[in-house]
Amino acid sequence: MQFYIIDLYQVENAKKLPAWALRVNIREGWQILSDIGHATGISWEGQNREYNRYHANTWRFWKTKEDFLKFYYHYKACLDEYKRAYKIKPKYLDFIGNVPMQEILDNINTDSEEKSVIKYMLERKSKNMSVEEIDIMKNLLTK
């Protein structure tokens, strides 16, 4: 998945993106947002099914509340810019109002980087670990 941020200011970012990158941000941004919802246990009307909450370009946007908000406002600016520039309303603009922002923010992980990685390993990679290794990982979570 891809999501392009080339300017810290959301509106400027959306205006500066090449047309193809703006389209990518709109399409794949919705999938990222949907996956963040799945990762935080939140669902809404119009949400995509989960693709991969641990994809590197998704995970980085739900690791902290600040990262999520940065992504969300950049995504919203891309939707608005597309509508302004092409006079076409992206379908996701209809669904963006359904996203329960506060619930997502309330459920975003506040663990350290290390604990986040351990949880990922236990959830997605435990089949590659011995029982002893799994126990070590679980013990690390309690420290």
pLDDT in tens, 15-42: 999 999 999 999 999 999 999 999 999 9
Q: Tell whether 33 and 91 lie within a shared domain.
A: yes
Least confident window among 27-31, 53-57, 127-131: 53-57
Distance CA 54, CA 57 (A): 8
Q: What's the pTM? A: 0.84
Are both 14 and 73 inside the same structural domain?
Answer: yes
Q: Average model confidence (pLDDT) for the chain?
A: 92
57 lies in the same domain as 127? no
Domain count, the chain: 2
The reply to whether 4 falls in a domain is: no
Same domain? For 100 and 132 the reply is no
Asked if residue 101 and residue 37 are part of one domain, the reply reads yes
Helices 19-39 and 65-86 sit at what angle, rounded to 10 degrees? 140
Residue-range definition of the domain harbouring residue 26: 10-109
Same domain, yes or no: 24 and 63: yes
64 DSSP assignment = S
Residues recorded for the chain: 143
Query: 86 with 121, same domain?
Result: no
* Tens digits of residue pLDDT in 7-18: 999 999 999 999
Please give the Cα distance from 84 to 107 (Å, whole number). 33
SS3 assignment, position 46: coil
